[in-house]
Copies of this chain bind each other. A is one copy, B any other.
């Protein structure tokens, strides 16, 4: 997951004390779904809990493909892998829809503190960062505790210096710390360059204390000079902070940093969204989307982000097939291209499918953790069905909070489409307490995926897709 607005929204929601209520068919709000459909929803939920396919697929993707940055040869292998898996699982209309894009490619990076004493730094370029000049640069460091402090500085201090933004991120179940911190990564270069800085270096946006830097997308502003942008690991940021404190002493020496980095931008490439379906019956022209993104960053294995999501939604579709009843609406699995650095897949999907009625957008892109919250973004007439869904999901430990219950965000690609087309969305928030430890780092490996929590996700999504497909009312369009 790379997007930020979702988290900015999440940030305003506090912790939830709701406890799920165990529910059975006879107690459910049956006004919304037929008794047969309710019973089948429960059957799918129980079937999903027995799943082992989600983990097997995640393992297969990271083992047989590995990291798969959009437009790379590995990405092409992932597209082939995804189609083969969808065929094998029995999905229909399996196809890869082309997505044209310009991709950014990481090159060599060398960065160190050169003064007061040499310290090698563990760092990663931020996605879209330009290179340094071939000879690199060596400049004094201007330290800021966070992005707000940089924005508040109207002095000449950043001019000619490397701005360091020591933005900290807090740990929370809903990942809200990310939304509060990530603008340092996305917008740090613009803020620093506006003030004359020659480069920006940030503390990694993450909750770990490992010597592994976190990458992620950053943006330039056409009105502002482009400067190199990178993230150092948290222990390196702590080291810089300690040396900065020493530099403030009477005998303190200024910090200097030496930086050389080569990246390539705007490389023409083609990737694909991979789609597969369970055809609907009387409402087959309406689409219930289960999605994840197929690409990953180039570091790590893309196991948590978003191999687990790929495994979950494919296994949820397989659960629906195994349930043996065809849905009224068409359930479509979409594996998006280039979520991480451009949303080209979401853009292309929207253009290709703009005329279709979308009953539900969703995306599993918050790792492998336990789902604990249901939020929707549907028109008011559909809320009774969502309430029924909430009762069906409660035994899984998924609650539906009263606050912002219909202000959900269905995940990065899906949210992009929701905002653009007014298609309704469904969010099952996963436990993100540890999600940002290895997010966008070399530590995004299969070791971070807990096989025990995947079946709960599969059960939740299979149930959700079924309820959306059988709903007597349309969930959209929504006002956006």
Contacts and interface: CB of A to CB of B under 8 A. Distances in A.
Contacts of A246: 63-64
Contact of A442 (B62, B211, B234, B238): B211
A28 interface: no
A269 interface: no
Given A59-B242, A446-B235, A447-B235, A300 B118 contact: no
B443 A300 contact: no
A445 B211 contact: yes
Interface residues of A, number: 36
Nearest to A241: B63
Contact of A212 (B119, B212, B446): B212
B442 A122 contact: yes
Given A66-B117, A117-B64, A119-B66, A210 B77 contact: no
Given A210-B210, A211-B212, A442-B211, A77 B117 contact: yes
Interface string A462-479: 000000000000000000
A254 B168 CA distance: 45
Nearest to A235: B445
A118 B117 CA distance: 38
A183 to B, nearest CB: 25
A243 B63 contact: yes
Interface string A105-137: 000000000001111101000000000000000
Contacts of A122: 442
Nearest to A67: B120
A209 interface: yes
Contacts of A359: none
B238 A300 contact: no
Contacts of A116: 64
Interface string A234-270: 1100110011001000000000000000000000000
A65 interface: yes
A301 interface: yes
A74 interface: yes
A446 B210 CA distance: 11
Nearest to A243: B63
A413 to B, nearest CB: 26
Contacts of A234: 447
A118 B72 CA distance: 12
A211 B443 contact: yes
Contacts of A210: 210, 212, 443
Contacts of A212: 210-212, 442
Given A122-B442, A238-B446, A211 B66 contact: no
9 contacts: A62-B239, A63-B243, A66-B117, A66-B118, A122-B442, A211-B441, A235-B443, A238-B445, A239-B301
